Amino acid sequence: MDEPFVLIVGAADTGRAPITVALLRRLAEQQGLSWRIESAGVVGHDDDPAEPEARDALLILGFDLSPHRARSLTDDLVRAAHVIVTVDRGVAHVVRARHPGISVAALGELAGRERDVPDPFRMHVGAWVQYAREIETLLLAGLPRLQTLVGGEAPSPDERRTPSPPVGPSDERPFGAPDLAAPVAATAPDPRLAAVGRIVRLLDLSAEMPEVIDWAGARRQIEADLNVMEQPLDPTDLARPYVAVLRAMLGLCPETPTAGRCAGLRAAIARLQAPITSGDLENLSRELAAFA
């Protein structure tokens, strides 16, 4: 039997849709549900990455959205999906108009709520975090109904009804939006380079917005990336013992670290852009004593 395919549909597939996919994948894993969960968009921004603010918001919540690339909703995807869930009623209206007769549920409808999660396009990253948490709340409320739909039960007449008046999704996109990942040297291979960039950005966000950081999730992301960064770049690279000291520093931060501690961790991790020397290791050991 094929793995059930849940398709999340957004406007450009660069914000709420990939966020919903990440959150639903974690929820499905926690519930022991073996589902294929992917996303697409109705306005067509194929191969675009997720919005910088969406990537930052998911980093705060313990996810890495950097691999995501947008794609358009196609007839093949519609035919393959067992269930189609849209990020709001406006997108649901577009999908129903393009593909008459298919079963579509907006996220709010799935959860039995009147509210749609707004599109936080061009908003501060704090708003993206707030709306991501609201999406997670709707997913938790709607999971029993989603499991029923995945199991093959037809939606009720209320779920098939097209809302009126629908609010169409925004198809605006930022032009020339900056890449918020910290610049790193070109000496590191891609996995280590990417891991350094993720942690540096996450620590920057922790210092800038400690009130919205999910530090437990952030720590899990950092610990996972430290596994990547301890791989040596060359035979003289002391990355492994250096990362061991970094783990000890991280262990001294059970709560969201202060701006000063974030800066110390950031500087220490940035050194992993290049091979670690004995001097680097000695300096970090001294910093650990001061850190403690």
Domain encompassing residue 78:
5-160
Long-range contacts of 161-167 (CB under 8 A, 24+ apart): 162/92, 162/93, 162/96, 163/89, 163/92, 163/93, 163/106, 166/89, 166/90, 166/92, 166/93, 167/88, 167/89, 167/90, 167/116
Position 205 in a domain: yes
Other beta carbons less than 10 A from residue 178's beta carbon? 7
Q: Are residues 26 and 81 in the same domain?
A: yes
Query: Do 142 and 199 share a domain, yes or no?
Result: no
Q: Which two tokens stand for residue 58?
A: 């998911």
Please indicate, yes or no, whether residues 143 and 17 belong to a single structural domain of this protein.
yes
The answer to whether residue 61 is domain-embedded is: yes
Position 14 in a domain: yes
User: Which pairing describes strands 36-41 and 83-86: parallel, antiparallel, or unpaired?
Assistant: unpaired
Amino acid letter, residue 23: L
| Residue 179 lies inside a defined structural domain of this protein | no
Residues 198, 141 share a domain? no
- Identify whether 181 is part of a domain: no
Q: Does residue 200 sit in the same domain as residue 151?
A: no
Per-residue pLDDT tens for 132-145? 999 999 999 999 99
List, for residues 251-274, the tens digit of each pLDDT value.
Answer: 999 888 888 898 899 999 999 999
The region of weakest confidence among 56-65, 127-136, 188-197, 230-239 is 188-197
* Domain-located, residue 167: no
Do 138 and 208 have their domain in common?
Answer: no
Residues 150-174 have pLDDT tens digits of 987 554 444 433 333 333 333 333 3
